[in-house]
Amino acid sequence: MRSTSPTSTDPVPTGSWWSRARRSHIGVAAVVALTLFTDMLTYGAILPVLPTLIIKKLKGDSSMVGFLFGCYAFGLLIATPVFAILSDKYQNRRWPMMGGCLGLVASTLSFAAAETYTLLVIARVAQGVAGGASWTIGLGLLADVFPTKRLGVVMGTVLTAHTVGFAIGPALGGFLYEYGGYSAPFLCCAGFAVLNFFAVLWVAEPPHDKHQKSTTKKYTEIEDEGAIIPIISAEETTPLLKNKNTQAPITIWSLCKNWRILCCVLCTIVSASVFSGIEPALPIHLEKAYGASASLVGFIFVFMVIPAFFAPLIGHLSDKLGRYVISATGMLLMAVASPLVAIHYSSIYLIIPSLMLFGLSSPVTLTPILPEMGEIVDELGGSAYAQVYALYNMAYSAGMFFGPNIAGLIMDYAGFTTLMITFGIILIACSPIMMDWKLVWRQLTRLFIRD
């Protein structure tokens, strides 16, 4: 298996330091990190802006806010499988990512120019389409260059950039909106998207023949003077090793038939629904209950995101202790935190500990999911990483669509407290999906036999 350690047999990049940097693992990880940072900076910057704009300027209601937030997920859901299939088919990650960067620039500038709710919806869908390239191709790029067993730590580290973007975004968006006007947050984010485009243009396309399988499901490589020669073509839609029992092609549909993949998908949908559902609801609640301004709402949002900086540690623990156990713990933690956020405190700042607990539950739940799905594909004898991460994105997109829309409706008819209690009940009911029931059955069987 290829390694990033000094004793690795990987061919050492040659050429100038510039050329080596473009092809280095660190360079790839840095570009993916910048891509996720930019996407979430833009996503977060509008959180304190759009609810105020829709309710005060456009005279809308909570359901309109929820629908607009959900439109991002609709665009993401449409674009994700397209980017994944094209990327896997043509074995190219850079061009789709560059297209996503340009799409993010266009959609962000469209937000700045929008004057009607319809134009906001179109811009929001376009933003989701751009996000489909950032997440699907970016995660596939990491799987191309890093060993499967290290993906938990690597992805946890890279996702820290996503956390930083989401942490800065609301505070930056609220501040620029309050002191620079409506267009200021979007113009700032468009500038970051342009910078991201040139970063993706800079990095070199990595090789896509890292993962080769033997009949014993071990990595095999043929080396000739330091050069790695692929045993067969690394097409992600065909088996990596042709043997007597020819494998069926790995597709998104076949992945859904795998029970472990399905558990990860269901967990992602539920968790994303809850975490995305609070995004349009919390600004409205803070304004109504505490009279919070856009900049104060953005400031409060930062504390919900800060615990996500523990993602690298969570990824390490999930690799050591078991990914399903960590994810199930995260769902229960989110279920406990949800009603605590709904308590009406005497000061707006007293809500911060509850929000931090709620924010911690999201990386605890979702950080183990990504490497688990990648390892399952590896065990199946394929390297369709873009497709499996597309499946993750589609699941997260479904949650991001359902959550804000459900939250908007419940907010209109029952209020914020009912919404958060409902989320808690759903999380408790769904947490058993991340249990390894086969392992539980084996342990019970052994205990019964001993007795």
Under 8 Å between Cβ of 271 and 423: no
Q: How far apart are CA 57 and CA 287, in angstroms?
A: 15
Query: For 58-72, 181-195, 198-212, which range has the lowest pLDDT when averaged over its residues?
Result: 198-212
Q: How far apart are CA 49 and CA 294, in angstroms?
A: 7
Per-residue model confidence as pLDDT tens digits over 264-290: 888 899 999 999 899 888 988 998 889
Q: Say which residue, 185 or 85, is predicted with more confidence.
A: 185
194 band by pLDDT with thresholds 50, 70 and 90? very high
* DSSP per residue, 270-293: HHHHHHHHHHHHHHHHHHHHH---
Q: How far apart are CA 38 and CA 244, in angstroms?
A: 47
- Residue 44's H or E segment, with its range, is helix 25-45
Q: How far apart are CA 405 and CA 119, in angstroms?
A: 19
257 band by pLDDT with thresholds 50, 70 and 90? confident
Per-residue model confidence as pLDDT tens digits over 385-435: 667 777 887 788 888 888 888 998 898 888 899 999 999 999 988 877 766
Q: Say which residue, 165 or 228, is predicted with more confidence.
A: 165
**Tell me, what's the pLDDT at 226?**
40
Per-residue model confidence as pLDDT tens digits over 339-382: 999 999 999 999 999 999 999 998 888 888 877 887 777 777 66
**Tell me, what's the pLDDT at 225?**
41
- Residue 178's H or E segment, with its range, is helix 151-180
**Tell me, what's the pLDDT at 356?**
93
Residues 6+ positions from 226 with CB-CB distance below 8 Å:
9, 11, 12
Q: How far apart are CA 312 and CA 29, in angstroms?
A: 14
Under 8 Å between Cβ of 271 and 365: yes
Q: How far apart are CA 256 and CA 263, in angstroms?
A: 9
Span 167-188, mean pLDDT?
88
Q: For the chain, how many residues are written?
A: 451
Residue with token string 């539950």: 361
**Tell me, what's the pLDDT at 195?**
92
**Tell me, what's the pLDDT at 294?**
83
Q: At residue 1, does pLDDT exceed 70?
A: no
